[in-house]
């Protein structure tokens, strides 16, 4: 199986066209547009490690859920666009809930990595591992958004620094692939991804 890429929704206009093609209700699309605007405002001038605007990552996660996994749940789709705002910006879970409701806020809360107990690299890695293990107890909808988030991050793993590639590959195999196993589309995608990056084993 060939690893499918999800990099065609670079702007909101491209995403909106894709959402319409997927048959999503106009009211849902309007809500997602508000979520994309809120995410862009909260993330501001943040960039991905590749230098691309941060919104591209959020739109990729949305594209994975819609075009790949066939998800239509409005809260999940909004959470895909907002999943990093509490972790990486000044926004709070309460801010998300005030605008997008309790369902979206709960998903974002599950997807937010708690701050590390210390500033050193070892403390940060320990906090991340604890967060990833905790996802095993998360609601299915939160897990699916996380799986889409990681698809966006690992589909272009070869663009990252070599030492990061190996570490992120091992982390994904250890913590993310088990989460994908009960979900056929994600299980298939991650199996193809693992084959694509087999040299990192």
Which residues are catalytic, by number? 87-88
- Cα separations (Å) of 160 from 8, 49, 167, 179? 20, 8, 11, 24
Task: From 190, 177, 169, 75, select the one nearest 135 (Cα to Cα).
Answer: 177
Task: From 169, 195, 190, 84, select the one nearest 131 (Cα to Cα).
Answer: 84
Question: Rounded to the nearest 5°, which phi and psi values hold at 53?
Answer: -55, 140
- Residue 101, classed as helix, strand or coil, is coil
């Amino acid at each position: 199986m060939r690893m499918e890429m999800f990099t065609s929704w670079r702007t909101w206009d491209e995403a909106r066209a894709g959402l319409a093609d997927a048959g999503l209700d106009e009211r849902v699309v309007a809500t997602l547009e508000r979520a994309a605007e809120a995410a862009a405002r909260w993330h501001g001038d943040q960039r991905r490690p590749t230098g691309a605007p941060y919104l591209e990552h959020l739109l990729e996660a949305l594209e994975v859920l819609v075009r790949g996994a066939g998800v239509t749940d409005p809260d999940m789709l909004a959470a895909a666009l907002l999943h990093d705002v509490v972790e990486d910006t000044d926004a709070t879970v309460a801010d998300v809930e005030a605008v997008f409701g309790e369902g979206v806020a709960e998903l974002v809360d599950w997807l937010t990595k708690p701050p590390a107990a210390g500033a050193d690299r070892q403390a940060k890695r320990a906090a991340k591992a604890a967060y990833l293990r905790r996802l095993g107890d998360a609601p299915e909808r939160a897990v699916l958004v996380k799986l889409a988030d990681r698809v966006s991050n690992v589909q272009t793993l070869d663009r990252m620094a070599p030492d990061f590639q190996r570490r992120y590959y091992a982390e994904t195999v250890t913590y993310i692939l088990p989460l994908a196993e009960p979900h056929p589309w994600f299980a298939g995608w991650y199996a193809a991804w693992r084959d694509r990056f087999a040299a990192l084993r």
